[in-house]
Amino acid sequence: MEVSNESAIKKPKRLTSVVWNHFERIRKADICYAVCVHCNKKLSGSSNSGTTHLRNHLMRCLKRSNFDVSQLLAAKRRKKETSLSLPSISYDEGQRKDEYIKPTAIIKYDQEQRKDEVISLGSSRFDQERSQLDLARMIILHGYPLAMVDHVGFKIFVKNLQPLFEVVPNGSIELSCVEIYGREKQRVYEMINRLQGRINLSIEMWSSAENIEYLCLAAHYIDEDWKLQKKILNFVTLDSSHTEDMLSEVIIKCLMEWDIECKLFAMTFDDCSTDDDIVLRIKDRISQNRPLLSNGQLFDVRSSAHVLNLIVQDVMEALQELTQKIRGSVRYVKSSQVTQGKFNEISQQVGISSQKNLVLDSPIRWNSTYLMLETALEYKNAFSLLQEHDPAYASALTDTEWEWTSSVTSYLKLFVEITCVLSGNKCPTANIYFPEICDVHIQLIEWCKSPDNFLSSIASKMKAKFDKYWNKCSLALAVAAILDPRFKMKLVEYYYSQIYGSTALDRIKEVSDGIKELFNAYSICSTLVDQGSALPGNSLPSTSSDSRDRLKGFDKFLHENSQSQSVASDLDKYLEEPVFPRNCDFNILNWWKVHTPRYPILSMMARDVLGTPMSTISPESAFSTGGRVLDSHRSSLNPDTRQALICARDWLRGEPEEHNPSSALALYVEAN
């Protein structure tokens, strides 16, 4: 095909950059200047200088409008999108590379159309107040220090990003954070008071490096969509001389502030040693306005993760001397390449094929101590032979000490596995704890029977702490397990027969009576019973249009009696039906959501029971031997600001299902 000379030499008209809408070109003495129409600054305007320096000036010109920035950025972005470049191409062997290369096309633009598109982007005026609140929200959400607004680097970054924004001082951004907290608090307050179900509370004690104590109060509940939720309500700074009376008053004051004292189902304390008098004072105050369900049998709950940690501390304390020897042995082997090489040779000689490397533990992470002991046991024979080859090695264990280490490590293994199960659950409803706690109970009984006095004494100390927890919380654990359709009463019968032996039937009856009493309490106070709004057949049937029908009274009698029989048999019907098959994908909250019409009263009870927090320790601190310690940034704030930042951050976080509701905020550092 022939191309005419005219078409071959014709060039597309050169486009004028939109940047010239903001500059006036002036020529003086053969020198061309570009004068900014906003600030009158002179810049080079010759064609050889291009327009990049003009664009850069516009971005920094304080006298231009924000609308101009959006125009300029949009034009610049569109230019990049329409510029052509060869993509990164990979070729298969044996194929021709030129098959993938396309001829470059010449693209022509309609300049008037481009100009119209820029103008039609719309005006986006800068808002100082909105930007200041956005900055405050960012600081809350990500836990940044308030002092970041005073940092030079931050000021430079913001000024280059948006020159019109005036960086406010520390005090002003603090007020903005408190303003956001106030708005969010009202929203959370209204949401909580709209809940149809009851609320469970967890009470955690925190401290700071300055030994100041704090109380963290959080609400746990299952919402109308059957999702497990958690909201931190208060983070209160306690007086250094606070007493038990003062602590109970602080909690009651928080409950009244949120107007939830009449909506409580249970309260979970993080420490089994919490004085019972504190709980009694709270129960007495609450029951003055509304009696507690089942006489408050399920009201007082203690954190299972906390009691497991306390039991482990007994193990670690008893094993302290042996642990120090093993720690010293590992440290000696890893002290030099020569020693490590000699140890590796000995390991090969005695036939050790383990692929694990010796590891040192972290004193504040007891699972790391378990891993150190477990690995060292695999190299037991190598350590025993090392003493013969290296006289400098002075941390050798005797055969008896190795046997003790092996037994106690098996104790720790159980607690590591159970802690991983409980802390790794994304939706830690109350039903998952009973089988795990029962396994601990059974193992403690067996360990106490050990003929070795050293091991049996350790087991006895562990069981003493466990029994205190079990006696207080076993009914709450069992009721939650019964409301799991995969278990029902069968799981209680299975474990209690192993735990109690000949007295198991009496213990099982106590649990059965307990859940029936709780169900009867829900039946009495249920609005469903009072109004009949959600029960099947809640409207009286019309059998005849004849106003003289003498059996209308019978219809009413039959309806009322059928309704009461349905309510009375709700729990029995659930327990008599076969258990649901166990599978890994089972979601108990979805199951109850689907079966709410079938069990209207029981589902209300299940919503409250399953929402009880059986543990208050977050997954990241499940293996920590240190307490929950507030970081130095937040501990230095005044009490009101500290509470505002901590609570608002919890409320502003993402969708609840995207995080573990039992997780505490990452506000602490592990105590040494």
Give every CB contact of residue 323 below 8 A, 6+ residues apart in sequence: 316, 369, 373
Statement to judge: residues 312 and 418 lie in one domain: yes
pLDDT at 107: 34
Q: Which of 535, 668, 528, 521 is nearest to 609 (CA)?
A: 521
Backbone angles phi, psi at 6, to 5 degrees: -65, -45
Q: What is the CA radius of gyration of the chain?
A: 36
Residue-range definition of the domain harbouring residue 62: 16-80+109-124
Beta bridge partners of 668: 630
Once rounded to an integer, what is the mean pLDDT over residues 363-375?
89
How many other C-beta atoms are found inside a 10 Å radius of the C-beta of residue 42?
12
- Token look-up 């654990």 returns 477
Closest C-alpha to 272, from 235, 309, 234, 219: 309
Rounded distance between C-alpha atoms, residue 603 and residue 571, angstroms: 10
Tokens of 663: 């997780």
Q: Rounded CA gap, 158 and 100, in Å? A: 45
Cα distance between residue 14 and residue 11, in whole Å = 8
Nearest alpha-carbon partner for 418 in 617, 590, 658: 617
Query: Looking at the structure, do residues 136 and 150 belong to the same domain, yes or no?
Result: yes
If one compares 20 and 77, the residue with the highest pLDDT of the two is 20
Residue 621 token pair: 């601190």
Q: Are 630 and 214 in contact (CB under 8 A)?
A: yes
Instruction: Note whether 38 and 66 are within 8 A (CB).
Output: no
Asked if the structure places residue 326 within a domain, the reply is yes
264 and 201 in a common domain:
yes
Nearest to 662 by CA among 190, 196, 219, 185: 219
Considering 397, 424, 451, which residue would you say is the last residue of a domain? Answer: 424
> Is residue 163 a part of any domain in this protein?
yes
Is 151 contained in some domain? yes
DSSP H or E segment with residue 631: none
**Pair 420, 311 in one domain:** yes
- 206 and 260 together in one domain: yes
What is residue 602's predicted lDDT score, i.e. its pLDDT?
Answer: 95
Specify the pLDDT at position 17.
Answer: 76
Q: For 259-319, where are the alpha helices, taking DSSP H only?
A: 276-287, 304-318
Q: Which of 477, 572, 556 is nearest to 516 (CA)?
A: 572
433-453 pLDDT tens trace: 999 999 999 999 999 999 989
Tell me the mean pLDDT in the region 279-304: 86
Please check whether residue 118 is in contact with residue 75, taking contact to mean a CB–CB distance below 8 angstroms.
yes
Q: Give me the number of domains the chain comprises.
A: 4
pLDDT in tens, 489-539: 999 999 999 999 999 999 999 999 999 999 998 988 775 445 444 433 334
Specify whether 281 is located in the same domain as 335.
no
CA angle centred on 346, ends 341 and 348, rounded to 5°: 95
Q: Are residues 264 and 276 in the same domain?
A: yes
In this structure, the dihedral spanned by the alpha carbons of residues 334, 338, 340 and 341, taken in order and rounded to 10 degrees, is 170
Q: Three-state SS for 407?
A: helix
Residue 149 domain-assigned? yes
Are 325 and 416 part of one and the same domain?
Answer: yes
325: helix, strand or coil: helix
With respect to residue 461, please indicate whether it lies within any of the assigned structural domains: no
**C-alpha span between 603 and 597 (Å, rounded):** 9
- Over range 636-648, report the average pLDDT: 94
How much is the average pLDDT of 73-88? 49
In this prediction, residue 654 carries a pLDDT of 56
| Residues 6 or more apart whose Cβ sits within 8 Å of residue 370 | 409, 412, 413, 416
What is 360-373 written as a DSSP string? Answer: PPPTTBHHHHHHHH
Domain-embedded: residue 103: no
- Helix H or strand E encompassing 231: strand 228-237
- State residue 37's pLDDT score: 84
CA distances from 313 to 156, 369, 371, 622 (A): 51, 12, 16, 13
Q: What is the pLDDT of residue 435?
A: 96
> Does any domain span residue 524?
no
Q: Is the dihedral of CA 643, 646, 649, 653 positive or negative?
A: negative
Instruction: Quote the pLDDT of residue 23.
Output: 85
Clarify whether residues 277 and 343 are in a common domain: no
- Please answer whether residues 662 and 619 qualify as being in contact, where contact means their C-beta atoms are separated by less than 8 angstroms: yes
Distances (CA, A) of 114 to 76, 77, 83, 119: 12, 12, 14, 9
- Please give the pLDDT value at position 135: 95
Tokens of 556: 């009413």
Q: CA 632, 637, 643, 646 torsion: positive or negative?
A: negative
Q: How far is CA 472 from the centre of its chain?
A: 27
CA of residue 389 relative to chain centroid, distance: 51
- Entry pTM: 0.74
Per-residue exposure over 231-243, b if at least 16 CB sit within 10 Å of its own CB, e if not:
bbbbbbbbeeeee
Q: Using CB atoms within 10 Å of the CB of residue 78, give its burial: 0 to 12 exposed, 13 to 18 middle, 19+ buried.
A: middle
pLDDT tens per residue, range 48-73: 888 888 888 887 775 455 545 555 55
Please check whether residue 226 lies inside any domain of the structure: yes
Query: What is the pLDDT at residue 69?
Result: 54
Do 199 and 154 share a structural domain? no
Query: Looking at the structure, do residues 231 and 288 belong to the same domain, yes or no?
Result: yes
Assess whether 34 and 138 both reside in one domain: no
Collect all residues with Cβ–Cβ distance below 8 Å to 100 and sequence separation of at least 6: 89, 91
Q: Once rounded to an integer, what is the mean pLDDT over residues 612-617?
A: 89
Alpha carbons 46 and 43: distance in angstroms, whole number = 9
581: its two tokens: 């098959």
Single-letter amino acid code for the residue at 84: L
